[in-house]
Every structure is written in C-alpha cells, then in structure tokens.
Amino acid sequence: MRTSLLILTLIFLQPACAQSKKSFKEFEKARQALRGDDIQKALGHLEKVNKKDPDFVDAWILRADIYYGNEDYDKAIAFYKSALKTGKADYVLFNLGETSFINQQYDEAKRYMRAYLDLRRSAARANDMAQRIIVSSEFAAEAIKNPFPFSPENLGKNINDDGHQYFPSISADGEVLVFTERQIKGPKRDEDFFASIKQEDGDWSPKERLKGRLNTDNNEGAQSLSADGNTLFFAGCQRPDGYGSCDIYIAFRDTKGMWSQPQNLGDAINTSAWESMPSISPDGKTLYFVRGKDMRSSKMTIMYSEKRADGNWTTAKPIPGEVNTPHRETTPFIYFDNTRLYFASDGHPGFGDLDFFVSERLEDGTWGKPKNLGYPINTHKEESSLVLSPDGRTGFFASERDEGFGGLDLYKFDVPPPHRGNPVAFVEGVVRDAKTKKVIPSAQLEVIDINKNDTVWILNSDENGAFFIILPAQRDYALSVEKENYLFHSENFSLEQEGADAPRILPVDLNKLEKGESVVLRNIFFDYDKFELKNTSHTELNRVVQLLKRSSNLSIEIAGHTDNQGSDSYNQALSENRARSVKAYLIDSGVAAKRVSIKGYGASSPIASNDSEEGRAANRRIEMVIK
C-alpha cells in the first residue's frame, strides 16, 4: 500500500503555475535539493514558500511527502491537512487516509478514504487501494486491541553481522539452519548461502559458507532446504541457462557435505517472467514458489508444481483456494505437516505493506481463508520470509531492528498458539535383505495413519536403501515396505512421545519370496479377546490379496499367536479363530480357499518376553508363512 504515494504523486502533483515567480523559484530550489538528497535544505525552501504563499498547495504536499518518507507521520498528516485547505482534495484525501492508516488512526483513515471515494473521479487502481485500506482499517482496529506476546530474539553473532542475513530455512530435525547472506561492505556483495548447526545448549554454531559448487560470483538466494537437508531449491538470476530474469534451481549434497552444480528446473516451472522464493513440501513432491513480472511487480502469485514418478515436474499453476489475490503474495513456506502454508501478502486485510498469514489445506485440496498472524508480529512495515521449526512453535524471520548488528538480521520468536503448526517427528531407517544384509534401493514404502486409515506418505528408499519420513507427532502409524521378489514388511509404531529432536529408527529387513519365509502382519487388528477383524486391518489384508494375485502359484499359511494370558485351551481357540477370520477375508476378496491354510499356535511360539505389556503385544500376532 505504501507504494501508492509515489503512484499518486506522479498522477496528481504537477509543478505549481498559479503562484508568484518568486515562490515558484523557491519551490524549484526545494526540488533540486531533493534530487541531491539534501532533505533539510529542501524543507527550508518549502517553509519559505508557505510563509510567503500559504495557498501554494504543492509546497504543503511536498513537505508532507518528505515527512512521510522519513516515517514522521504526525508531521506528514499535519501538512496534508494544510494542503487540504487549499485544494487538490482527491490526492490529499488519499494521502491523509493512507498516512492515518499507517499511524494507527484507523477511524480517520476510513473517513478520509470514504471522502476520497465519494469524489468518484480517480483511477480504478487508486480506488482499489482506498477500498483495501478501509477494510484493513476495520481489521487492524480490532486486532490491535488483542495483541499477541512478541519478543523476537536475535540469533546472535555466530549468524548475524553488519551485512544482511535473510531467507532462513531449516531441516526437519531442526538441527541445520541455512540462510542467504549479502555483505554491504567490501568488494564482494553478491548473495551466497551459509549454514549453521544447532548446538546442545540451543545456540547456533559459527556460520559457514556452503561447500561445493553451489555458491558462485552470481547471486544465489531465497532458498528452501529439503526435509532431510540434502537438497536445496533456490532462485538464480541472470544465468546463461535461465529462461527469464530469475529462475528456480536445484542442487544436491553428497555424503561428504559438498553441494553439486545447480540445475535449472526447466520450462515446466520457469518462464520468461520472474520466478523466486521456492518452498519444497516435506515429502519432496510439491514445489511452491512465487511468480511475478519482475521483482518489483505489484502482482505476485504463489504457484505450485508436482513431481511426477519419472522425476519431472508438472507445469506450474497458481495454488487453488483463497490465498492468491490480484496483489502480492510472497515468501511461501509449507510447514512440515504438509497442511499449513505460511506466506506474506498485501492483498488480504492487514496492517499495511506485507503481513504474515497462514492458510490451511482443506479436504478438497484447496487452501482455506488466510489468517493474519496478528499484532505486533505484523505492523505497517514489511514482514516476509517466515519459516517455522519442526516443533511448530518457533518462528524464524529476518528484520532490520535497532538492536541488531546492522542490516537485516535473523531472529526467532514464539509463534502464538492459534497459528502454530502441529508438532512433527521424523522416522528414518535402511531397507536391507534379511539374510545378506545388503541394502535394497527403490523399495516402496507406504505410511498410513491408523486412526484415519489414510495413506500419508508413499516413497522409495534411496540408492543406499535409506528412507526419511516426516509425520505429525502424537499419532499411530502403519508402515508397509515392498520390493519385487520379496515378502512385504509390515510394521506399526506410535509417535506419541517422539518429537523432532528424537528420531524414530525403523530398520527394515525383507525376506525373499521363498518357501518357508514368513512375515508378521503387524497391521491386522482385533479388539481385546475378540477375533472379529477391525476395519483398520483392511489395508494390510488387501496387500496380502494383491501379493497372492500377482503370484498365482503361491500358497500360504495364516498362523495365529497369542500371549500367555489365559488358559492354553482358550489361547489355542482364540489364535485359530483369528487366523480363520483372516482366511475368510482373503476368500471374500477372490483368493482361492485351497491356497490358504490356517493354524493356531496359542501362546506356544512367543517372539518376545511375556513379562511386559510391550512383549505380550508383540506376541499377539498374525503371521503369513510361504508354503
């Protein structure tokens, strides 16, 4: 909104011609002083003009504009009011409305803007600005009555200096902070990437320039670090392989910590326009970024592109829903739960310029109505480049504050409860051959939220057999791992206690699809002492059905097991009945009955101690054995 004064100055403010030659000459001296950045000299000339010629409206306006530019809004308002008495009501009313809005005089802002609109002779763009200020004044007047606690903490001298540090990004474990830096002194002033590691005491290690071929003599900035910390998306400008002024690039970190030569993401994402500010989803499958005509465009749109199975990206489109407006939406950050999008905008009701907002993904995949993060997190000044740590409550952003080291510094703050992300945890492991212990690349992993029975992740193990998964904490999950010529692996686990700083390690050993091999079907569930299948078992059972349909010569035994609680006869009967329920489901799903045998083992074959509930739970199981 604050750009509007310049726009309207160009529209309305012309050199005065009805005043005396002496006043006009003094006015021109003021303008000449401004061209030389001598503000005090300019103000002196303008004061002389208004003392001699109080009706010289442009002198009043220019004095007000100068104080507006210096953020002395009280004086700016006073001089605009003096100008209003002499004429040019449309221009002056608009400036009074905007300056009153910035100065938190919301009733006055609405009054002046409504009077301005009542004149009905201004450009559509200016009218739109006036309408937005009226709506934002109503919002801000209420929001400022209920401020959130806000005490931003400078990240300290290990990260910040007298240059500019901005665009923070953080890994899913909260341990690695990557940011863009630009120095304002010395011969080297291009943008480069730096990183810092979180220490045991919570402080950050001295920053280090990212190693490898990522940083160049060109500008690199506005990066997004992948959840596992091994991939970096960023904006590179004016490059030989570029499509426009700035494009989105990707680089990879190897096992030695060296970053690869950046690669342009191609014409599905990049165009002749300006693309910047990427944010990669935690599963690595959706890239969000900003597109505009150029970096100063008054319209910027948050776009998205999805990664296909072949590794290529779909043609980017504006994100669906209520986030984008005809104005500026910038610095998107997709939170680690993949359901919350934080961004900056001047198109939604706020406090002026760019404010921080958050939008939640709806069930239909669109993005819901954005919520302003409130006062004093947002002010009339520009706020942008917000990211959250995986705990959901710690925000990082860049700001130029009086208590800083100079230039833009990185700060952290406690995000207000209504706008926090859900805490997340991460799971990692390696897929191996159960006998040879060799790693298995490209195994398919599927994670299901047990309570919702929803698939939340599908991914493949990497070339080292490793996998890394981020999940909302305090939930129960089922994991299935499949690879051709192997029995699938079944696992269930709880993230009730884990946080982002306590990874859950899940080693996965796959058995060959051979006679005598077996797998525990850990995601088949029964109520206590019951043998009726729960609905949450269907996903696992359908996986068995698909396996049998793919391998038509395969026969299996469904083996039921219990813990040692209760009599032997009772446990024997319960284990047989549970195995029989599984067979019935398979038959109902089209599997020939002769291919499935059942056997109840009762408590005779424990795989863990029955002295603890955890051990007894492991012993209550269904196994599938290849016959």
For residues 173 and 307, membership in a common domain is answered with yes
Average pLDDT over residues 470-496: 88
Which pLDDT score, from 0 to 100, does residue 384 have?
78
Domain termination residue (choose one: 459, 490, 513)? 513
For residues 366 and 473, membership in a common domain is answered with no
CA angle (503, 509, 512) in 5-degree steps: 160
204, β-bridge pairs = 198
Domain termination residue (choose one: 513, 528, 543)? 513
The DSSP output letter for 475 is: -
- What does pLDDT average to over the chain? 90
Name the burial class of residue 594, with classes exposed (0-12), middle (13-18) and buried (19+) by CB atoms within 10 angstroms of its CB.
Answer: exposed
For residues 489 and 562, membership in a common domain is answered with no
For residues 329 and 206, membership in a common domain is answered with yes
Q: List all residues 6 or more positions away from 585 whose beta carbon is below 8 Å from its beta carbon.
A: 533, 537, 538, 541
| Number of independent structural domains in the chain | 4
For residues 445 and 392, membership in a common domain is answered with no
Which pLDDT score, from 0 to 100, does residue 202 have?
86
Does the structure show a pLDDT above 80 at 11? no
The DSSP output letter for 537 is: G
Residue 455 domain-assigned (yes or no): yes
Residue 226 domain-assigned (yes or no): yes
CB 361 within 8 A of CB 335: no
Residue type, 424: V
List the structure tokens of 509.
Answer: 């050993």
CB 470 within 8 A of CB 491: no
Domain termination residue (choose one: 497, 513, 529)? 513
Q: What CATH number does residue 564 fall under?
A: 3.30.1330.60
For residues 506 and 526, membership in a common domain is answered with no
Does the structure show a pLDDT above 80 at 29? yes
Half-sphere exposure of 302 (CA within 13 A, CB side): 27
Question: What's the CA gap between 445 and 290, in Å, rounded?
Answer: 32
Residue type, 81: K
Residue 154 domain-assigned (yes or no): no
Percent of the chain with pLDDT over 90: 66
pLDDT digit string, tens, across residues 405-446: 888 999 999 999 999 998 888 889 999 999 999 999 999 999
Length of the chain: 627
For residues 179 and 108, membership in a common domain is answered with no
Percent of the chain with pLDDT over 70: 95
List the structure tokens of 211.
Answer: 């190693």
Cβ atoms within 10 Å of 371's Cβ, excluding its own = 14
CB 492 within 8 A of CB 481: no
Burial 45-66 (b: 16+ CB within 10 A, else e): bbebbbeebeebbbbbbbbbbb
Residue 453 domain-assigned (yes or no): yes
Question: What's the CA gap between 575 and 339, in Å, rounded?
Answer: 41
List the structure tokens of 168.
Answer: 């923070």
For residues 190 and 313, membership in a common domain is answered with yes
Closest Cα partner for 42 from 22, 58, 26?
26
pLDDT band at 382 (very low <50, low <70, confident <90, very high): confident
626, β-bridge pairs = 556
Question: What's the CA gap between 122 and 88, in Å, rounded?
Answer: 12
For residues 407 and 550, membership in a common domain is answered with no
pLDDT band at 498 (very low <50, low <70, confident <90, very high): low
Residue type, 331: T
Question: What's the CA gap between 38 and 438, in Å, rounded?
Answer: 73
Cβ atoms within 10 Å of 206's Cβ, excluding its own = 11
For residues 586 and 614, membership in a common domain is answered with yes
Residue 491 domain-assigned (yes or no): yes
pLDDT digit string, tens, across residues 234-263: 999 989 999 988 999 999 998 888 999 999
For residues 483 and 355, membership in a common domain is answered with no
Residue type, 261: Q
Residue 152 domain-assigned (yes or no): no
Look up the domain containing 198 and give its range: 165-419
pLDDT digit string, tens, across residues 555-608: 999 999 999 999 999 999 999 999 999 999 999 999 999 999 999 999 999 999
For residues 431 and 404, membership in a common domain is answered with no
Which pLDDT score, from 0 to 100, does residue 299 have?
94
Q: What is the CA radius of gyration of the chain?
A: 32
CB 524 within 8 A of CB 540: yes
**Sheet-wide strand order for 518-520:** 518-520, 621-626, 556-561, 596-600
Residue 556 domain-assigned (yes or no): yes
Average pLDDT over residues 225-231: 91
Closest Cα partner for 127 from 115, 142, 139?
115
The β-bridge relationship of strands 466-472 and 454-460 is unpaired
Residue 383 domain-assigned (yes or no): yes
Name the burial class of residue 196, with classes exposed (0-12), middle (13-18) and buried (19+) by CB atoms within 10 angstroms of its CB.
Answer: buried
CA distances from 201 to 197, 198, 205, 486 (A): 11, 8, 10, 45
Which pLDDT score, from 0 to 100, does residue 184 have?
76
The β-bridge relationship of strands 504-505 and 424-433 is parallel
Q: What CATH number does residue 60 fall under?
A: 1.25.40.10
Omega before 376 within 30 of 0, i.e. cis: yes
Half-sphere exposure of 326 (CA within 13 A, CB side): 4
pLDDT digit string, tens, across residues 280-297: 999 899 999 999 998 888
Residue type, 488: F
Does the structure show a pLDDT above 90 at 121? no
CB 357 within 8 A of CB 370: yes
Which pLDDT score, from 0 to 100, does residue 404 have?
87
Question: What's the CA gap between 324 and 499, in Å, rounded?
Answer: 33
List the structure tokens of 503.
Answer: 């990874």
Tell me the three state secondary structure of residue 286.
Answer: strand
Q: List all residues 6 or more positions away from 187 whose beta carbon is below 8 Å from its beta carbon.
A: none
The β-bridge relationship of strands 208-209 and 424-433 is unpaired
The DSSP output letter for 198 is: B
Which pLDDT score, from 0 to 100, does residue 303 have?
98
Does the structure show a pLDDT above 90 at 322? yes
